[in-house]
Amino acid sequence: MIHDDPVTLYDVALSSRLLLGTARYSSPAILAEAIRGSGCEIVTVSLRREAGGARAGEAFWSLIRDVGVRVLPNTAGCRTAKEAIATAQMAREVFATDWIKLEVIGEEDTLQPDVFGLVEAARALADDGFKVFPYTTDDLVVAEKLLDAGCRVLMPWAAPIGSGRGVNDAFALRALRAHFPDTPLIVDAGLGAPSHAALVMEMGYDAVLLNTAVSRAGDPVLMARAFALAIEAGRAGFRAQPMTPRDMAEPSTPLIGRPFDRLA
């Protein structure tokens, strides 16, 4: 990874710009290898998947301790602000962190966030001392309201969760980046291939969160590494300031001084 270019999330500097989900892996061993292969420093986990005092969760916590990553609990599956707030409060006790990935789902087929409930929950949690990572749409007005509610990071979708479609609306994502140049923006949901991740990083996004694209790949470990490389390449491309696209061709070899000019 590009260690001289860390990303800072709620005053924590991280060398990796990849966040990895922990659901739907074929085995704990594959999950551990994928985490290590990706080089990520943050993994997300649902409170409903792991219970702090339950025997079923002991193996998971042992795995997380062994790989040495930070846990970002999420409120996956919550349908109302009240449910999300209660889940976040339980997660703080279980996982011993005030970081929370906030999800309030409003539509079943697309799993699109309920942006009204999301803003309500974000405000309540921020007021309660949480560091909120809201899963949101690419809507500029919603983004502004989330920042006003106390969020210091935004996590817009590229496409519906688990769809693997890549970037549905490049214009919207570019507009979001341009409107909030100083806010860490993490693309969350919808990416299916490493090239999708490289694209959003070239747009200037700060990080990418993945789950299904890695966990359901034929080789999750190799795919985790591929995404890590794509994210690094995309970030390097953004920092290098790509050329501006043109409508007409421009020769890469100068015309002056061609060997046959004198024979014309």
Active site amino acids: 101
Consult the annotation and say whether 87 binds a ligand. Answer: no
**Which two tokens mark 187?**
């693309």
- Measured CA to CA, the distance from residue 34 to residue 30 in angstroms comes to 6
Strand, coil or helix: what is 124? helix
Consult the annotation and say whether 97 binds a ligand. Answer: no
Helix (H) or strand (E) holding 141: helix 140-148
**Which two tokens mark 244?**
């501006």
Angle 119-122-124 (CA atoms, 0-180°, nearest 5)?
110
Consult the annotation and say whether 257 binds a ligand. Answer: no
Consult the annotation and say whether 168 binds a ligand. Answer: no
Consult the annotation and say whether 129 binds a ligand. Answer: no
Q: Is 144 exposed, middle or buried (0-12, 13-18, 19+ CB in 10 A)?
A: middle
Write out the binding residues for 1-deoxy-D-xylulose 5-phosphate.
162, 189-190, 211-212
Write out the binding residues.
162, 189-190, 211-212
